[in-house]
Amino acid sequence: MYGRKVKLRFFFILSAFLILVLSIALILKSLEENVVYFQSPSEIKELLEVKKKKIRVGGMVKNDSISIKSEELEFIITDFKSEINVVYSGAIPNLFEEGKGVVAEGFLKDKNFFIATKILAKHDENYMPPEVKEALKEK
């Protein structure tokens, strides 16, 4: 009915299309699984349930809240409305300071305790992560 060439071309287009659809589906699916959401302490307080997913929490490091031991670091992130306790062991960026903005990545233990796996570095003293700026603006 159709020539060999037409069939081949049809087969080619079909397989290219299938590959395209498959790879898009794959990309979107892993995007869904691997995305990290950002939340402010107040937003966490309003959560209905504490999920086991990795999130980011941002705000200010509360004054006089840093306490450091040989294995871990504890501090409080505040957005001046709500607060959350953070426990962290790992590398501390240079610009981590009381009264300055911070973004911590990790897991919620409950609505008041956050176990951080990473504290994000900032590049200069004036810089504030946009998430933090917004979280503070909303107060």
Partner 1 sequence: MASLIGYYSLIIGLFCSLLTIFYSIKNFNDNNVIKKEVLLFTFLQFFFVIISFLGLIVSFIISDFSNETVFNHSHTTKPLFYKISGTWGNHEGSLLLWLLVLTLFIFLFLLKSNNQPKKYRILTLAFQQIIITGFFIFLIKTSSPFNYIFPIPSEGLGLNPILQDPALAIHPPILYLGYVGSSIIFSSALAATASGYISKDWAKHIKGWVLISWFFLTLGILLGSIWAYYELGWGGFWFWDPVENVSLMPWLALTTLLHCILALEKRSILTSWAIILSIATFTLSMCGTFLVRSGILNSVHTFANDPERGLFILIFLFSLIFLSLFIFFYFHKNENKNFKFFLLSKETSILVNNWFMMYFLSVILVGTIYPIFLEVISSKKISVGPPFYTKLIIPFLIPFLFAMAIGPKLKWIKSDVQNKINLIIFLVISFLISFLILKNLNDNFLLNSILLTSAFYLFFITTKDFMIKKVQNFSQNLAHFGFSLLILSILLNNIFSTEVITNLKIGETFKSKNLSINFQSMDQKDEQNFKSLIGKFKINSSKDETIILKPELRIYNQPNIITSEADIKISLLKDRFITMNSVKNQNYFNIRYQVKPFMIWIWISVLLISFGGIISFFKKIYEN
What the block records as the tokens of 70 is 């040989």
Of 1 and 91, which has the nearer Cβ to partner 1? 91
The gap from C-alpha 120 to its chain's centroid, in whole angstroms, comes to 10
| Side-chain-side CA neighbours of residue 77 (13 Å) | 32
What is the pattern of x (binds partner 1, CB under 8 A) and - over residues 109-128? ------------x-xxx-x-
Residue among 92, 109, 113, 139 that touches partner 1 (CB under 8 A) = 92
Neighbours of 42 (CB within 10 A): 18
Interaction of residue 31 with partner 1, rule CB under 8 A: yes
Interaction of residue 137 with partner 1, rule CB under 8 A: no
Q: Which span sits near partner 1 by CB under 8 A: 45-53, 69-77, 79-87, 106-114?
A: 69-77
Interaction of residue 98 with partner 1, rule CB under 8 A: yes
Interaction of residue 74 with partner 1, rule CB under 8 A: no
- CA distance linking residue 19 with residue 53, whole number of Å: 31
132 phi and psi, to 5 degrees?
-65, -45
| Side-chain-side CA neighbours of residue 80 (13 Å) | 12
What the block records as the tokens of 93 is 């960026």
Chain residues that interact with partner 1, rule: CB under 8 A:
19, 23, 26-28, 30-31, 34-38, 56, 66, 68-73, 89-98, 121, 123-125, 127, 129-131, 134
